[in-house]
Amino acid sequence: MDLADGGHQQGKPRSEPTTPYLLVLPSAAYLVLFVFYPMVQAVLLSVTEPRTGTFTLEHLRRMVTDLHFWPALRYTVLITALAVPIQAALALAMALLINTRFPGHPYFLYVCAIPLAVSDLAAGLIWLSLFTERGYLNAILLRVGLLSSPFNFLSYESPGWLVGAIVATEVWRATAIVMVVLVAGLQLIPRDYAETAAVFGASAWRTLWHVTLPLLRSSLQTALIIRTVLAFQLFATVVTLSGRLVPVLAGETYFWYSLYRNPHVASAYATLVLLLSAAVTWVYLRTLRTPEEAA
Protein backbone atom coordinates (compact mmCIF):
# COMPACT_ATOMS: atom_id res chain seq x y z
CA MET A 1 0.00 0.00 0.00
CA ASP A 2 2.88 2.37 0.65
CA LEU A 3 4.73 1.49 -2.53
CA ALA A 4 3.37 2.77 -5.80
CA ASP A 5 3.27 -0.70 -7.40
CA GLY A 6 2.57 -2.59 -4.20
CA GLY A 7 -0.92 -3.52 -5.27
CA HIS A 8 0.05 -5.76 -8.13
CA GLN A 9 -0.76 -9.13 -6.68
CA GLN A 10 -4.41 -8.46 -5.81
CA GLY A 11 -4.90 -5.78 -8.42
CA LYS A 12 -5.24 -3.12 -5.75
CA PRO A 13 -5.29 0.35 -7.17
CA ARG A 14 -2.31 2.55 -6.55
CA SER A 15 -2.53 4.32 -3.24
CA GLU A 16 -4.79 7.36 -3.32
CA PRO A 17 -5.32 7.58 0.38
CA THR A 18 -8.22 10.04 0.43
CA THR A 19 -10.26 8.54 -2.43
CA PRO A 20 -11.98 5.67 -0.55
CA TYR A 21 -12.94 8.01 2.25
CA LEU A 22 -14.43 10.50 -0.19
CA LEU A 23 -16.38 7.66 -1.79
CA VAL A 24 -17.75 6.39 1.51
CA LEU A 25 -18.44 9.82 2.96
CA PRO A 26 -21.81 10.65 1.29
CA SER A 27 -23.54 7.44 2.34
CA ALA A 28 -21.99 7.55 5.82
CA ALA A 29 -23.11 11.14 6.34
CA TYR A 30 -26.57 10.26 5.05
CA LEU A 31 -26.92 7.34 7.45
CA VAL A 32 -25.77 9.49 10.36
CA LEU A 33 -28.43 12.09 9.52
CA PHE A 34 -31.28 9.69 8.79
CA VAL A 35 -30.53 6.70 11.02
CA PHE A 36 -28.32 7.63 13.94
CA TYR A 37 -29.71 11.12 14.55
CA PRO A 38 -33.34 9.88 14.69
CA MET A 39 -32.26 7.03 16.95
CA VAL A 40 -30.85 9.51 19.45
CA GLN A 41 -33.89 11.72 18.91
CA ALA A 42 -36.24 8.81 19.71
CA VAL A 43 -34.56 8.34 23.07
CA LEU A 44 -34.62 12.09 23.81
CA LEU A 45 -38.29 12.47 22.83
CA SER A 46 -39.28 9.66 25.14
CA VAL A 47 -37.76 11.41 28.19
CA THR A 48 -38.49 15.06 27.40
CA GLU A 49 -41.35 17.11 28.79
CA PRO A 50 -42.83 18.76 25.66
CA ARG A 51 -43.58 22.22 27.09
CA THR A 52 -40.60 22.87 29.32
CA GLY A 53 -38.06 20.66 27.59
CA THR A 54 -36.93 19.16 30.89
CA PHE A 55 -36.21 15.53 31.71
CA THR A 56 -39.22 13.40 32.65
CA LEU A 57 -40.09 9.76 33.07
CA GLU A 58 -43.77 10.50 32.58
CA HIS A 59 -43.94 9.12 29.00
CA LEU A 60 -42.26 5.89 30.02
CA ARG A 61 -44.67 5.61 32.95
CA ARG A 62 -47.64 6.13 30.63
CA MET A 63 -46.31 3.48 28.28
CA VAL A 64 -45.73 0.88 30.99
CA THR A 65 -49.03 1.50 32.76
CA ASP A 66 -51.03 1.48 29.51
CA LEU A 67 -53.60 -1.26 29.19
CA HIS A 68 -51.98 -2.53 25.98
CA PHE A 69 -48.34 -2.45 27.01
CA TRP A 70 -47.80 -5.84 28.62
CA PRO A 71 -50.03 -7.68 26.15
CA ALA A 72 -48.11 -6.00 23.31
CA LEU A 73 -44.77 -7.13 24.73
CA ARG A 74 -46.13 -10.60 25.45
CA TYR A 75 -47.73 -11.09 22.03
CA THR A 76 -44.65 -9.81 20.18
CA VAL A 77 -42.47 -12.33 22.01
CA LEU A 78 -45.05 -15.13 21.74
CA ILE A 79 -45.59 -14.72 17.99
CA THR A 80 -41.83 -14.57 17.43
CA ALA A 81 -41.22 -17.64 19.59
CA LEU A 82 -43.88 -19.61 17.69
CA ALA A 83 -43.09 -18.45 14.16
CA VAL A 84 -39.29 -18.50 14.10
CA PRO A 85 -38.75 -22.24 14.82
CA ILE A 86 -41.42 -23.20 12.25
CA GLN A 87 -39.81 -20.89 9.71
CA ALA A 88 -36.44 -22.46 10.40
CA ALA A 89 -37.77 -26.02 9.99
CA LEU A 90 -39.69 -25.24 6.79
CA ALA A 91 -36.80 -23.28 5.32
CA LEU A 92 -34.41 -26.12 6.11
CA ALA A 93 -36.73 -28.56 4.34
CA MET A 94 -36.87 -26.26 1.28
CA ALA A 95 -33.10 -25.72 1.27
CA LEU A 96 -32.32 -29.44 1.58
CA LEU A 97 -34.76 -30.24 -1.24
CA ILE A 98 -33.11 -27.62 -3.46
CA ASN A 99 -29.73 -29.04 -2.53
CA THR A 100 -30.68 -32.49 -3.89
CA ARG A 101 -30.64 -30.77 -7.32
CA PHE A 102 -33.66 -32.69 -8.51
CA PRO A 103 -34.77 -31.87 -12.06
CA GLY A 104 -36.88 -28.76 -11.75
CA HIS A 105 -35.21 -27.48 -8.61
CA PRO A 106 -34.60 -24.01 -10.13
CA TYR A 107 -38.38 -23.59 -10.46
CA PHE A 108 -38.88 -24.81 -6.91
CA LEU A 109 -36.33 -22.27 -5.66
CA TYR A 110 -38.14 -19.53 -7.55
CA VAL A 111 -41.52 -20.50 -6.11
CA CYS A 112 -40.14 -20.62 -2.57
CA ALA A 113 -38.56 -17.18 -3.04
CA ILE A 114 -41.75 -15.44 -4.20
CA PRO A 115 -42.74 -14.21 -0.70
CA LEU A 116 -39.47 -12.20 -0.61
CA ALA A 117 -41.29 -9.66 -2.75
CA VAL A 118 -44.51 -9.68 -0.72
CA SER A 119 -44.86 -7.04 1.99
CA ASP A 120 -46.20 -7.78 5.45
CA LEU A 121 -49.28 -5.73 4.57
CA ALA A 122 -49.94 -7.69 1.39
CA ALA A 123 -49.39 -10.97 3.25
CA GLY A 124 -51.88 -9.89 5.90
CA LEU A 125 -54.50 -9.04 3.27
CA ILE A 126 -53.86 -12.30 1.42
CA TRP A 127 -54.34 -14.41 4.53
CA LEU A 128 -57.33 -12.32 5.55
CA SER A 129 -59.05 -13.75 2.48
CA LEU A 130 -58.52 -17.20 4.01
CA PHE A 131 -59.25 -16.62 7.67
CA THR A 132 -62.06 -14.09 7.65
CA GLU A 133 -65.56 -15.25 8.47
CA ARG A 134 -66.56 -15.39 4.80
CA GLY A 135 -63.08 -16.57 3.85
CA TYR A 136 -61.73 -19.50 1.86
CA LEU A 137 -60.98 -21.62 4.91
CA ASN A 138 -64.61 -21.56 6.01
CA ALA A 139 -65.75 -22.16 2.43
CA ILE A 140 -63.51 -25.22 2.15
CA LEU A 141 -64.51 -26.56 5.59
CA LEU A 142 -68.14 -26.21 4.51
CA ARG A 143 -67.43 -27.95 1.21
CA VAL A 144 -65.88 -30.99 2.93
CA GLY A 145 -68.66 -31.06 5.48
CA LEU A 146 -66.78 -30.10 8.63
CA LEU A 147 -68.81 -26.95 9.18
CA SER A 148 -72.35 -25.85 8.58
CA SER A 149 -72.15 -22.23 9.70
CA PRO A 150 -69.10 -19.99 9.35
CA PHE A 151 -66.63 -19.95 12.22
CA ASN A 152 -64.99 -16.64 13.12
CA PHE A 153 -61.27 -17.37 13.38
CA LEU A 154 -60.38 -13.71 13.86
CA SER A 155 -62.50 -12.83 16.89
CA TYR A 156 -61.52 -11.86 20.42
CA GLU A 157 -63.42 -14.95 21.55
CA SER A 158 -60.84 -17.21 19.95
CA PRO A 159 -57.42 -15.71 20.77
CA GLY A 160 -55.77 -19.05 19.97
CA TRP A 161 -57.02 -18.96 16.38
CA LEU A 162 -56.15 -15.29 16.09
CA VAL A 163 -52.54 -15.89 17.10
CA GLY A 164 -52.47 -19.03 14.95
CA ALA A 165 -53.58 -17.04 11.89
CA ILE A 166 -50.90 -14.40 12.50
CA VAL A 167 -48.22 -17.06 12.99
CA ALA A 168 -49.30 -18.87 9.79
CA THR A 169 -49.10 -15.61 7.85
CA GLU A 170 -45.68 -14.76 9.28
CA VAL A 171 -44.40 -18.26 8.52
CA TRP A 172 -45.72 -18.03 4.97
CA ARG A 173 -44.15 -14.62 4.37
CA ALA A 174 -40.79 -14.84 6.11
CA THR A 175 -39.68 -18.43 5.53
CA ALA A 176 -38.25 -17.31 2.19
CA ILE A 177 -35.48 -15.13 3.65
CA VAL A 178 -34.39 -17.93 6.00
CA MET A 179 -34.41 -20.29 3.02
CA VAL A 180 -32.12 -17.96 1.04
CA VAL A 181 -29.59 -17.86 3.88
CA LEU A 182 -29.65 -21.65 4.24
CA VAL A 183 -29.37 -22.35 0.50
CA ALA A 184 -26.36 -20.02 0.36
CA GLY A 185 -24.91 -21.82 3.39
CA LEU A 186 -25.45 -25.26 1.88
CA GLN A 187 -23.67 -24.22 -1.30
CA LEU A 188 -20.55 -23.54 0.74
CA ILE A 189 -20.42 -27.12 2.06
CA PRO A 190 -18.31 -29.30 -0.25
CA ARG A 191 -20.36 -32.13 -1.73
CA ASP A 192 -17.71 -34.77 -0.99
CA TYR A 193 -18.35 -34.47 2.76
CA ALA A 194 -21.76 -36.03 2.39
CA GLU A 195 -20.44 -38.46 -0.22
CA THR A 196 -17.66 -39.57 2.12
CA ALA A 197 -20.18 -40.11 4.89
CA ALA A 198 -22.29 -42.20 2.50
CA VAL A 199 -19.26 -44.27 1.45
CA PHE A 200 -18.67 -45.09 5.11
CA GLY A 201 -22.22 -46.31 5.34
CA ALA A 202 -23.97 -43.39 7.00
CA SER A 203 -27.68 -43.17 6.30
CA ALA A 204 -29.15 -40.01 4.82
CA TRP A 205 -30.51 -39.02 8.23
CA ARG A 206 -27.21 -39.56 10.01
CA THR A 207 -25.38 -37.60 7.32
CA LEU A 208 -27.84 -34.74 7.73
CA TRP A 209 -27.58 -34.80 11.51
CA HIS A 210 -23.84 -35.34 11.94
CA VAL A 211 -22.35 -33.74 8.82
CA THR A 212 -24.64 -31.21 7.15
CA LEU A 213 -26.33 -29.57 10.11
CA PRO A 214 -23.16 -28.90 12.14
CA LEU A 215 -21.56 -27.33 9.04
CA LEU A 216 -24.69 -25.26 8.51
CA ARG A 217 -24.70 -23.97 12.05
CA SER A 218 -23.42 -20.45 11.42
CA SER A 219 -25.87 -19.90 8.52
CA LEU A 220 -28.66 -21.16 10.72
CA GLN A 221 -27.65 -18.76 13.47
CA THR A 222 -27.50 -15.81 11.07
CA ALA A 223 -30.93 -16.62 9.69
CA LEU A 224 -32.50 -17.03 13.10
CA ILE A 225 -31.13 -13.76 14.40
CA ILE A 226 -32.19 -11.81 11.32
CA ARG A 227 -35.67 -13.22 11.74
CA THR A 228 -35.74 -12.37 15.44
CA VAL A 229 -34.76 -8.76 14.85
CA LEU A 230 -37.29 -8.39 12.05
CA ALA A 231 -39.97 -9.85 14.29
CA PHE A 232 -39.91 -6.74 16.48
CA GLN A 233 -41.22 -4.87 13.45
CA LEU A 234 -44.29 -7.08 13.33
CA PHE A 235 -47.01 -4.64 12.35
CA ALA A 236 -49.08 -4.85 9.19
CA THR A 237 -49.84 -8.59 9.30
CA VAL A 238 -51.13 -8.22 12.82
CA VAL A 239 -53.11 -5.05 12.18
CA THR A 240 -54.81 -6.41 9.04
CA LEU A 241 -55.76 -9.71 10.68
CA SER A 242 -56.66 -8.57 14.18
CA GLY A 243 -56.93 -4.79 14.30
CA ARG A 244 -55.85 -4.13 17.87
CA LEU A 245 -57.19 -7.40 19.30
CA VAL A 246 -53.64 -8.68 19.33
CA PRO A 247 -51.53 -5.67 20.36
CA VAL A 248 -47.85 -5.68 19.35
CA LEU A 249 -45.05 -3.19 20.02
CA ALA A 250 -44.83 -1.67 16.54
CA GLY A 251 -48.62 -1.51 16.38
CA GLU A 252 -48.72 0.45 19.64
CA THR A 253 -46.09 2.85 18.24
CA TYR A 254 -48.46 3.48 15.33
CA PHE A 255 -51.56 3.89 17.49
CA TRP A 256 -49.86 6.29 19.90
CA TYR A 257 -48.52 8.40 17.07
CA SER A 258 -51.35 8.38 14.55
CA LEU A 259 -54.39 7.88 16.76
CA TYR A 260 -53.50 9.57 20.06
CA ARG A 261 -51.15 12.13 18.47
CA ASN A 262 -48.60 11.58 21.21
CA PRO A 263 -45.10 11.39 19.68
CA HIS A 264 -43.53 11.08 23.14
CA VAL A 265 -45.14 7.83 24.20
CA ALA A 266 -44.78 6.61 20.60
CA SER A 267 -41.06 7.39 20.92
CA ALA A 268 -40.93 5.41 24.15
CA TYR A 269 -42.23 2.40 22.20
CA ALA A 270 -39.79 3.12 19.38
CA THR A 271 -36.95 3.25 21.91
CA LEU A 272 -38.03 -0.08 23.34
CA VAL A 273 -38.02 -1.63 19.85
CA LEU A 274 -34.62 -0.05 19.31
CA LEU A 275 -33.19 -1.50 22.53
CA LEU A 276 -34.56 -4.97 21.80
CA SER A 277 -33.13 -4.86 18.26
CA ALA A 278 -29.80 -3.61 19.59
CA ALA A 279 -29.69 -6.42 22.13
CA VAL A 280 -30.26 -9.03 19.44
CA THR A 281 -27.78 -7.31 17.10
CA TRP A 282 -25.18 -7.41 19.84
CA VAL A 283 -25.70 -11.14 20.19
CA TYR A 284 -25.52 -11.36 16.39
CA LEU A 285 -22.17 -9.59 16.20
CA ARG A 286 -20.77 -11.74 18.99
CA THR A 287 -21.84 -15.02 17.39
CA LEU A 288 -20.48 -13.81 14.05
CA ARG A 289 -17.14 -12.88 15.50
CA THR A 290 -16.51 -16.12 17.37
CA PRO A 291 -15.62 -18.32 14.37
CA GLU A 292 -13.21 -15.69 13.03
CA GLU A 293 -11.39 -15.41 16.33
CA ALA A 294 -11.22 -19.16 16.64
CA ALA A 295 -9.70 -19.49 13.17
Partner 1 sequence: MSLRRLAVYAAALTLSAWVLAPIGLIGLAAVTSREQLYRWPRPLWPQPITLDTLAFFLRQEGVLRALGNSLVVAGLTILLATALSAPAGYALARYPFRGREAVQLGLLTTKMFPATALAVPLAVAFLRWGLYDTLVGVALVHTALSVPFVVLIVASVFRGVSPELEEAAMSLGCNRLQAFWKVTLPMALPGLAAAAIFTFILSWNEVFAATLLTVNHRTLPALLVHSVVAEGAPLHYRYAGGFFLVLPALVIIFLIRRYLLTLWGVTVR
Tell me the C-alpha distance between 215 and 92, whole Å.
13
With respect to partner 1, which residue has the nearer C-beta, 163 or 267? Answer: 267
Q: What three-state secondary structure class fits 48? A: strand
Count of residues making up the chain: 295
Q: Identify which range of 54-62, 152-160, 205-213, 226-234 contacts partner 1 by CB under 8 A.
A: 226-234
One of 92, 165, 180, 220 touching partner 1 (CB under 8 A): 180
CB 167 within 8 A of CB 255: no
Q: Which of residues 142-171 bind partner 1 (CB under 8 A)?
A: 142-143, 149-150
Give me the least distance between CB of 255 and partner 1, in Å please: 9
Give me the least distance between CB of 95 and partner 1, in Å please: 11
Q: Which residues does 252 contact at the CB level (< 8 Å), separation at least 6?
A: 66, 68, 69, 72, 269
With respect to partner 1, which residue has the nearer C-beta, 137 or 163? Answer: 137
With respect to partner 1, which residue has the nearer C-beta, 50 or 159? Answer: 50
One of 85, 159, 243, 291 touching partner 1 (CB under 8 A): 243
Give me the least distance between CB of 10 and partner 1, in Å please: 8
One of 112, 166, 220, 246 touching partner 1 (CB under 8 A): 112
Q: How far is CA 222 from CA 160, 227, 283, in A?
A: 30, 9, 10
> What residue type is 246 in one-letter code?
V
Q: What three-state secondary structure class fits 55? A: strand
Question: Is residue 278 involved in binding partner 1 (CB under 8 A)?
Answer: yes
One of 77, 211, 257, 287 touching partner 1 (CB under 8 A): 257
Tell me the C-alpha distance between 8 and 5, whole Å.
6
**Long-range pairs, 291-295, Cβ under 8 A, ≥24:** 291/218
Question: Is residue 236 involved in binding partner 1 (CB under 8 A)?
Answer: yes
Give me the least distance between CB of 81 and partner 1, in Å please: 19
Q: Which of residues 39-98 bind partner 1 (CB under 8 A)?
A: 39, 41-42, 45, 90, 93-94, 97
Torsion of Cα atoms, 267 then 31 then 236 then 273, to 10° = -40
Tell me the C-alpha distance between 13 and 292, whole Å.
27
With respect to partner 1, which residue has the nearer C-beta, 2 or 192? Answer: 2
One of 17, 160, 190, 214 touching partner 1 (CB under 8 A): 17
Tell me the C-alpha distance between 275 and 20, whole Å.
32
Give me the least distance between CB of 13 and partner 1, in Å please: 6
Question: Is residue 189 involved in binding partner 1 (CB under 8 A)?
Answer: no
Interface with partner 1: number of residues (CB under 8 A): 106
